[in-house]
Homo-oligomer: A and B are copies of this chain.
Amino acid sequence: MNLVNEYLKIRKYSEEICEPLQTEDYVVQPIVDVSPPKWHLGHTTWFFETFILKPYSAGYQEFNEDYNYVFNSYYETVGARVIRTDRGNLSRPSVNEVYQYRAYVDEAMTRLLACAVDEKLMELLLLGFNHEQQHQELLLTDIKYILGNNPLFPAYSRNWKDKTDGVSAVDAINISEGVYEVGYQGDGFCFDNELSRHKVYLQDFSISTSLVTNEEYLDFIIAGGYQNFIYWHAEGWDWVKNNQIKAPLYWNEINDTWFNYTLHGLRHIDFKAPVTHVSYYEAYAYASWKGMRLPTEFEWEIAARQFSWGKRWEWTESAYLPYPGFNKAPGAIGEYNGKFMVNQKVLRGASVATPEGHERLTYRNFFHPHLRWQFTGIRLAK
């Protein structure tokens, strides 16, 4: 791996994602979970500056010290920061300044990577790459939210290629009871929450090889799924009623016809495509209505070798918890994953928004159960 090339390739892809945007699209934050695209561009840059350039590049001159305050996401170790809800209040630094910041840091990184890279630096570098890729995924989902909740429904890009063109026929795999091994093993990169590889005991289970489609999900809607508490968790039912939820995010019923906001703009719903932008509550309720359930993350990891995945992030029944022997790294890097291990659900797989090469069988994504601005989907088990 040529480190400079790899670095520049990843960095460039973040900017490519933003190419179809107008300046104004970089700035807004319609809900707290969505960050302004320019913030993502700045934050990933700040990550390299703070954790690599400042400690490892002798004589490195910070681009602008105020950016620490602006672009720190949640690292308490590193100091004060703009509170998350306020990211959309900042018109400055401007989009141009953020791109200048990127160029400045990229140049310094290029110089640094031309020199010898020791193991510790290599580790941080890989973390920085993967961190930027995580934000690339978020960039796409956040851009979709920004545009898809605009009353003008502007398209993101007519060239956008959704990797998912329908779902294969429904089938199921049976896995037998027994002891299995889960967790990452190997020499490549993984996040600390995938370590260490360990044994788990699984019961007999069966899991679908296909994702639930829009058509199947529409049956749930038509059958009154959103009106019957019996399928829902108590908290899910409160969420449905308080937010008057009636369909997945981005579904719009206009004159009795269902439309879906996609990155191409408002479109008739593609009924053969996998349902997406559902919360865990909805995934659970749908499974419940079908007399089935969601897989656990370990069932998923064991079975996934046998089916095709990677189109939607898939909700599992598992809570996001530490693996045996999990240990937070010292310092700010230790804040990466561990401190979020409560009240969240694990998602497995990857999605159309995941940058190529970033997906992994042992990858553990996690979100609060009510969130649905990600490209989430449903796979059934029993």
Contacts and interface: CB of A to CB of B under 8 A. Distances in A.
A27 B76 CA distance: 30
**What is the count of identical protomers in the complex?**
4
Nearest to A96: B22
Contacts of A310: none
A19 interface: no
Given A69-B151, A70-B151, A91 B24 contact: yes
Interface string A168-204: 0000000001010000000000000000001111010
A24 B27 contact: yes
A179 B180 CA distance: 11
A33 interface: no
A343 interface: yes
Interface stretch (A52-60, A226-234, A253-261): A226-234
A88 B91 contact: no
Interface in A29-71: 29-30, 38, 66, 69-70
Contacts of A90: 28, 150-151
Contacts of A357: none
A92 interface: yes
Interface stretch (A101-109, A116-124, A320-328): A320-328
B339 A234 contact: yes
A3 interface: no
Interface string A145-160: 0110111101000000
Contacts of A89: 28-30, 88, 146, 149-150
A135 to B, nearest CB: 18
A176 to B, nearest CB: 13
Nearest to A30: B89
A150 B94 CA distance: 12
A27 B30 contact: no
5 contacts: A24-B26, A27-B27, A27-B28, A27-B91, A89-B146
